[in-house]
């Protein structure tokens, strides 16, 4: 067996998190290397190449802020950049900061074991290498493990099948085909209008209708770009403490329950016209009070009724089983209007459940559907899935997946008691998927970098969350979620999309600004809640 590679920091994943982590580590003089399963940089934007894939936060906000030069030179073409442009951006970042020489592609990390005597992580890859590193940073994303197709008979299907999260790099031409799409989450809602334009016939299988608001995409507005450029530092500073880490959400402090109905309607209408997530920030009580949520839900339902011509289809498309915005809100381009096309049908799986996938298509309780292609837009084993797939073992050989058997436990979403020197970027217990991921990623990478510099400056080399701090944080995260309507929806935030996954609300709901303050306080108090020592 070859000699282990010895590093200060091993970084797993070359998406937004891993690239910036490498850049910061180099800046601090640490030896660091990134291991990436894909053939290129980009993470989410490397894998999710399905038709219509694009960011749903405005491009200028969904981008790195750490380099003013990078911000000056990069020009986004659309309000919401499409996947190819996002991938170009991340490739540009990799080149501009000369990151590639420390990234190893097509190399999947399979295990990471903590060697207590040495105070180091021993990391193995599917290429047979071993890396010995003082610190291990899991920059592997929250939505990087696709949900397996769990429908009976899927292996018997003779046509082509695709998962939106693992789309072929060469693209897919659906021209002239009969296509079935299973799922109606964000990935489906983005891809359905595109596939409908190409395919001869499209049938959408919907289990749960989703709330979706219009993006109103278009070329980047020169006025918005100019305003952003002129005030960038101040606007970025505001976004870093905004509840969800971006300004176009525009969180209002007004309560819907205290607002007269006509005024409420006016606010919803104005925000619907603005497009994107602005609807989410319309009132401060939308996700905490059913009385405030119901009018928002009704507003969206009425919009669907106005857009979709067939009233039966419209009713099916209206979410009824959970409060507005308590599953990830979708942002679409022409989603609902697509159901007015002659070549698009909607099958409600609550009325006719799928019995099996057959060699020729899908059999529901009502009938057989024949397809040339099936698109599985069925989502991900979110947040914990990417970590529990790797054989991660901490002190005493404890496996992370065993420690998390009843749900993830972290301190600040960043570290886990019993797993010293292992950092998670945007892990469970941090705002993560409830926020602008790029803002949360930069915050975590900066916090981890400052922490490593602090340890180094004190000749310390091992840091570990204490069990007490972790317990208190987990209780706080649960308490924050329990006070909201989020826990009423069977969402992937709760692991409800994966059979057998513990039902625990994983992200921290109190907001990006509140969370950042807590993390900064912990650091300012000498990393309170962490035990620090020098390795043997
Ligand atoms: P998702 O939100 O989990 O949606 C999966 C869909 O598949 C749901 O409609 C689900 O129905 C359905 N489904 C799953 N298993 C099924 C089964 N066995 N039979 C029938 N239907 C089944 O996944 P996603 O659309 O890939 O999105 C995941 C997340 O990725 C999003 O919430 C978002 O955070 C992120 N994303 C972001 C963007 C963007 O920013 N532009 C785009 C795409 C995705 P149920 O609801 O009934 O479970």
Q: Which helix (H) or strand (E) holds 73?
A: helix 68-73
C-alpha to C-alpha distance for 150 and 161, rounded to whole angstroms: 14
Which atom of ligand 1 approaches the CA of 57 most closely?
40
Q: Where are the domains of the chain?
A: 5-41+99-145+382-533, 154-376
* Tokens 């696709």, located at residue: 146
Residues with CB under 6 A from ligand 1: 54-56, 143, 150-151, 164, 182-188, 190, 207-208, 328, 349, 354, 377-380, 433, 492, 497
For residue 335, the CA-to-ligand 1 centroid distance in Å is: 15
Pick the closest to residue 492 from 382, 391, 356 (CA basis).
382
Give 140-199 as a DSSP string: --SS-SBPP--STTGGG--SEEEEGGG--TT----TT-EEEEE--SHHHHHHHHHHHHHS
Pick the closest to residue 297 from 273, 329, 274 (CA basis).
329
Q: How many CB atoms lie within 10 A of CB 445?
A: 27
Strands (E), 406-511: 422-424, 462-465
The CATH homologous superfamily for domain 5-41+99-145+382-533 is FAD/NAD(P)-binding domain (3.50.50.60)
Q: How many CB atoms lie within 10 A of CB 404?
A: 19
User: Between vectors from CA 342 to CA 340 and to CA 343, what angle results, nearest 5°?
Assistant: 110
C-alpha to C-alpha distance for 248 and 239, rounded to whole angstroms: 9
pLDDT score for 409? 98
For residue 282, the CA-to-ligand 1 centroid distance in Å is: 24
Residues 296-319: b if buried by 16+ CB within 10 A, e if exposed = bbebbbebbeebbeeeebbebbbb
C-alpha to C-alpha distance for 108 and 111, rounded to whole angstroms: 9
C-alpha to C-alpha distance for 350 and 84, rounded to whole angstroms: 36
* Tokens 């990078």, located at residue: 70
* Tokens 């009976």, located at residue: 152
SS3 sequence, 324-350? CCCCCCEEECCCHHHHHCCCEEEEECC
pLDDT digits (tens, 9 = 90+) for 242-265: 999 999 999 999 999 999 999 999
- Using CA positions, which residue lies closest to atom 46 of ligand 1? 208
Q: Which residues of the chain have pLDDT under 70?
A: 1, 536
pLDDT digits (tens, 9 = 90+) for 355-389: 999 999 999 999 999 999 999 999 999 999 999 99
């Amino acid at each position: 067996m070859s000699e282990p590679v010895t590093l200060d920091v091993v970084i797993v994943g070359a998406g937004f998190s891993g690239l910036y982590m490498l850049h910061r580590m180099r800046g601090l003089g640490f030896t660091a290397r990134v291991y990436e399963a894909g053939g290129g940089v980009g993470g989410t934007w490397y894998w999710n190449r399905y038709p219509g894939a694009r960011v749903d936060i405005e491009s200028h906000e969904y981008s790195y802020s750490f380099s003013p030069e990078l911000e000056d030179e990069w020009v986004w073409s659309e309000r919401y950049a499409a996947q190819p442009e996002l991938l170009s951006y991340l490739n540009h970042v990799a080149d501009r900061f000369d990151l590639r020489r420390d990234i190893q592609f097509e190399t999947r990390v399979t295990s990471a074991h903590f060697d207590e005597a040495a105070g180091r992580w021993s990391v193995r890859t599917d290429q047979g290498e071993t890396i010995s590193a003082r610190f291990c940073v899991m920059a592997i994303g929250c939505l990087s493990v696709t949900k397996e197709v769990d429908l009976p008979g899927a292996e018997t299907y003779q046509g082509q099948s695709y998962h939106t999260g693992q789309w072929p790099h060469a693209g897919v031409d659906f021209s002239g085909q009969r296509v079935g799409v299973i799922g109606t989450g964000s990935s489906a809602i983005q891809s359905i209008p595109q596939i409908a334009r190409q395919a001869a016939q499209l049938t959408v299988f919907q289990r749960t209708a989703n709330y979706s608001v219009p993006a109103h995409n278009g070329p980047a507005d020169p006025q918005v770009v100019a305003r952003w450029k002129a005030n960038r530092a101040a606007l970025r500073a505001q976004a870093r403490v905004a509840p969800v880490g971006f300004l176009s959400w525009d969180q209002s402090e007004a309560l819907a329950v205290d607002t007269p109905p006509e005024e409420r309607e006016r606010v919803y209408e104005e925000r619907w016209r603005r497009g994107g997530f602005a609807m989410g920030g319309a009132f401060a009580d939308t996700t905490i009070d059913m009385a405030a949520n119901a009018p928002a839900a009704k507003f969206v339902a009425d919009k669907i009724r106005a857009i979709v011509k067939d009233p039966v289809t419209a009713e099916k498309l209206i979410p009824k089983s959970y409060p507005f915005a308590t599953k990830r809100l979708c942002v679409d381009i022409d989603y609902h209007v697509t159901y007015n096309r002659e070549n698009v049908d909607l099958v409600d799986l609550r009325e006719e459940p799928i019995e099996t996938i057959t060699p020729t298509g899908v059999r529901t309780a009502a009938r057989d559907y024949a397809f040339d292609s099936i698109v599985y837009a069925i989502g991900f084993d979110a947040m914990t899935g990417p970590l529990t797939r790797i054989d991660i073992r901490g002190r005493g050989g404890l496996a992370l997946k065993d420690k998390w058997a009843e749900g993830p436990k972290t301190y600040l979403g960043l570290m886990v008691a019993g797993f010293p020197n292992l950092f998670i970027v945007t892990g469970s217990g941090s705002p993560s998927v409830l926020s602008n991921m790029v803002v949360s990623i930069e915050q975590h990478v900066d916090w981890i970098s400052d922490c490593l510099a602090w340890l180094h400056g004190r000749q310390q080399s091992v840091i570990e969350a204490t069990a007490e701090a972790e317990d208190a944080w987990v209780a706080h995260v649960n308490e924050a979620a329990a006070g909201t309507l989020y826990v009423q929806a069977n969402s992937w935030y709760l692991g409800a999309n994966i059979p057998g996954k513990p039902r625990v609300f994983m992200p921290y709901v109190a907001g990006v600004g509140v969370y950042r303050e807590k993390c900064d306080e912990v650091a300012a108090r000498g990393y309170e809640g962490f035990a620090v020592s020098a390795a043997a």
